[in-house]
Amino acid sequence: MSASNKNIVILISGAGSNMAAIVRAAQQDQWARRHRAHVAAVISNKADAPGLLVAREHGITTALVDHKAFDSREAFDAALAAEIDRHQPALVVLSGFMRILTPGFVAYYAGRLINIHPSLLPAFTGLHTHQRAIDAGCRFAGCTVHRVTSELDHGEYLDQAVVPILPGDTAATLAARVLSQEHLIYPQAIERLVSA
């Protein structure tokens, strides 16, 4: 990335716990001073997303682009891109953003769009990853930070964390263990990108 200001735009649909972890890391580790990087905006497709309040409490600009207001994915993605581009992003970070993005949107942000997935990719792409890992008899699970491509849950892997699957684990207990690792590796991966 260039030496100019590196704006990070985070997309959320819900509580935004990974977003909050990224914001905390950016502030505590002084990304603005050290890397000229900061979280410029948090955008949600849901007006009632609790993460919007969390972002505002940290003094971060927020915006709503409600997917229900659009007749097609393409129209929604165009409006979303217009809002994102107002903030001149170096990185667009998906943090529990529960919308499938169109190939055109993904191509437009190619190289700048990243996501975290709650499995050790390439295993268990898609949904219900924790229950699927338990059902498959896996001894380990985890999470993966990756670049977003038009193929679901593929793209360059930027970081991974491994957690054990314990006897008696449920999808919920495993999810909580994985999420604690997401909160560590997602900010770390982003900091590596903005420090380059």
- Kindly list the averaged pLDDT for each block of 10 residues, start to end, along the chain of length 196: 79 97 97 97 98 97 97 97 98 95 96 97 96 98 96 93 97 98 98 95
Of 98, 52, 49, 45, whose CA–CA distance to 68 is shortest?
45
Q: Is residue 93 part of a domain?
A: yes
Displacement of CA 131 from its chain's centroid (Å)? 21
Q: Is residue 96 part of a domain?
A: yes
Q: Is residue 78 part of a domain?
A: yes
Catalytic annotation present for 58: no
pLDDT in tens, 73-117: 999 999 999 999 999 999 999 999 999 899 999 999 999 999 999
pLDDT in the model for residue 3: 47
Q: Is residue 128 part of a domain?
A: yes
pLDDT in the model for residue 177: 97
Q: What's the domain count of the chain?
A: 1
Burial bucket for residue 126 (CB in 10 Å: 0-12, 13-18, 19+):
exposed
pLDDT in the model for residue 57: 97
pLDDT in tens, 105-117: 999 999 999 999 9
Q: Is residue 10 part of a domain?
A: yes
Give the largest CA-CA distance in the chain.
Answer: 50
pLDDT in the model for residue 2: 47
Q: Is residue 132 part of a domain?
A: yes
Structure-token match 């170096």, residue found = 90
Q: Is residue 1 part of a domain?
A: no
Q: Is residue 184 part of a domain?
A: yes
* CATH number of the domain residue 49 falls in: 3.40.50.170
Q: Looking at 35, 38, 117, 183, which residue is catalytic? A: 117
Q: What is the pTM of this model?
A: 0.95
Domain enclosing residue 115, as ranges: 6-195
pLDDT in the model for residue 119: 98
